[in-house]
Amino acid sequence: MSKEGPERTSSRATLMYAAMVAGAVALFVIIKTIGRFLSAPEQAGPVRFGRLANQASMSELAHVLMALVVIIVLARLLGAAFKRVHQPAVIGEVIAGIALGPSLLGRIAPAASKFILPGTVAPYLSMISSVGVILYMFLVGMELDTQLLRRKTHASVAISHASIITPFLLGSVLALWLYPRFSSRDVPFTVFAMFMGVSMSVTAFPVLARILTDRGMTKTKLGAIALACAAVDDVTAWCLFALVVSIAAAKPGRVLLTVGLTAFFIFCIFKFVQPAMKWLVQKRAREKKTTQGTMVIVFAALLLSALATDAIGIHALFGAFLLGAVIPHDSALARDVKAKINDVVLVLLLPAFFAFTGMRTQIGLVKGTSEWLACGLIILVASLGKFGGSSVAARITGLSWRQSASLGILMNTRGLMELIVLNVALDLGALQPTLFTMLVLMAVVTTIATTPVLHALEGETEEEAELQHA
């Protein structure tokens, strides 16, 4: 009896379900029959009904999704391969982006290159990469230790400013030779020279910090000085870059207005936004968790800050960087925000930026011995300026020659920051594609050289210490 009850209930439920489905089908057939006798008004303009109307957009979406899959997988594989040879993973990701572009895949397999990264996906990759760079600069700003800047003021400011002034001047001098060969008369020489100076002056603070962490140098004297110098360098270089972009992007007669609006924006950030962020940090500490409401406030502030600097004319990434800088880097709020968006930015969005950069990097444009010599000269000037300025200033402040040389090599790390500068310059028309390619190669070469040269200098330093002790 106890077994027949559940069976009868199950059979009844099955019959009711079948009757419900049959009734719904019958009712829809009746509705469809009645609807055949109805007519709708004619639509003005082209008819957009049917699969063919959306075929183009669906095809582009499929290409973008497929391109992103290939990009993130190849970037992860090459990043892991470069880590195994003690190189920053970002270099492998950059090379993955270049390899998928016309420089490698486009040369050896044009059909595959057009299939994976057709020209139609470039605008979409541009938007995705722009969002990725904005979020990445926000993360970089949150990594900035303002207390470190205060503790290492004298030595770090002297070394970092020497590592900016020297390459900036050398880059400006080099512009005298490059301008008539690799620029156009549409670009004012002043803007061209300033962009060349800034491109020589940038240090990739996140890449440098990762190199120090991988080598266990963050707690050493040299590591602490390098981090402080790179932090000061970062802030100074981005302020200088913002000035250059404002001059390049502003219409004639509006430069002073752009600079004035930028100063007013910075004042508002530190006067009003920074206290609000500190209040959010305290709220997070009281509640012991970061709520979705708090994240809404942070992201709304991030997007509004980026929108404000974009409207001013100094690029959206500066607003994102500045907002990140006013959130205490060691707060629980900063840790939670980084934990929520870090993987999405690094795994998905930044590889899209590298691929977009790779599509714009055409190594085939560098032709002949003279242009390759020009590329080598750019790498030499960039390295001499950054290495020479940093190491001489470090020696003057009391470091040994070996430590000074190690610091100079670390400050010569450019990586992703350089690519951001170069893409902005290319977007503004301040750089032509051939020179853009040369500068991308310079960024890759100087960053790759950091780890092996630093390893050689560390080995020599240990041997020298043993000899002096003996």
pLDDT at 8 over 80: no
The DSSP code sequence of 140-202 is HHHH--HHHHHHTHHHHHHHHHHHHHHHHHHHHHHHHHHHHHH--TTS-HHHHHHHHHHHHH-
Nearest to 424 by CA among 315, 262, 269: 315
DSSP state at residue 218 = T
Please report where in the chains the tokens 């006013």 appear, as a residue: 326
- Lowest-pLDDT range of 147-151, 172-176, 336-340, 344-348: 147-151
Q: What does the pLDDT average to over 413-431?
A: 88
* 149 band by pLDDT with thresholds 50, 70 and 90: low
Q: What is the mean pLDDT of the chain?
A: 84
CA 159/CA 146 separation, integer angstroms? 17
Which of the pair, 163 or 51, is modelled with greater confidence?
163
Residue 61 to residue 59: CA distance in whole angstroms = 5
Residue pLDDT, tens place only, 182-210? 998 888 898 899 999 999 988 887 788 77
74-79 CB contacts, 8 Å cutoff, 24+ apart: 74/99, 74/100, 75/351, 75/354, 75/355, 76/347, 76/351
The CATH architecture to which 62-462 belongs is Up-down Bundle (1.20)
In this predicted structure, what is the pLDDT of residue 464?
43
Q: What is the pLDDT of residue 185?
A: 86
Between residues 388 and 53, which one has the greater pLDDT?
388
pLDDT of residue 153: 53
Instruction: Count the neighbouring beta carbons within 10 Å of the beta carbon of residue 469.
Output: 6
Angle, helices 89-100 vs 415-427, to 10°: value is: 40
Q: Give the pLDDT score at 300.
A: 95
pLDDT tens per residue across span 377-386: 999 999 999 9
- Max mean pLDDT range (71-80, 306-315, 457-466): 71-80
pLDDT higher than threshold 80 for residue 308: yes
Cβ proximity of 203 and 417 under 8 Å? yes
220-241 per-position pLDDT tens digit: 778 878 877 887 787 778 888 8
**What does the block give as tokens for 126?**
């541009």
% of residues, the chain, pLDDT over 90 = 31
Distance between CA atoms of 151 and 299, rounded to whole angstroms?
30
pLDDT at 396 over 70: yes
Grouping H, G, I as helix, E, B as strand and the rest as coil, residue 66 is helix
Decide if pLDDT at 307 tops 90.
yes
**Does position 414 have pLDDT exceeding 70, yes or no?**
yes
- pLDDT, tens digit (0-9, with 9 covering 90-100), for 446-455: 989 888 888 8
* Predicted local distance difference test score (pLDDT) of residue 196: 93
pLDDT of residue 384: 93
Average pLDDT for residues 295-303, to the nearest whole number? Answer: 94
The answer to whether the CB of 401 falls within 8 A of the CB of 461 is: no
pLDDT tens track for 48-69: 555 544 554 557 888 889 999 9
Distance between CA 134 and CA 402 in Å, rounded?
Answer: 37
Going by C-alpha positions, the residue among 375, 387, 448, 377 that lies closest to residue 415 is: 448
Q: Is the dihedral of CA 172, 174, 178, 180 positive or negative?
A: positive
The single-letter code of the amino acid at 407 is L
Q: What's residue 468's pLDDT?
A: 45
Residue whose tokens read 């600079």: 259
Q: Which residues of 435-447 are buried (b: 16+ CB within 10 A; e: fewer)?
A: bbbbbbbbbbbbb
| Residue 461: pLDDT band with limits 50, 70, 90 | very low
Token pair for 294:
């708090």
What does the block give as tokens for 296?
């809404």
Six-digit token pair at 396? 């003057």
pTM above 0.85, yes or no: no
Considering the chain, what percentage of its residues have pLDDT values greater than 70? 89
CA gap 324, 145 in Å, rounded: 11
Question: CA separation (Å) from 138 to 107, 206, 337, 398?
Answer: 36, 12, 10, 35
pLDDT of res. 462: 45
CB within 8 Å of 236: residues ≥ 6 apart: 160, 161, 164
On the question of pLDDT at 175 being above 90, the answer is yes
pLDDT mean over 168-195: 92
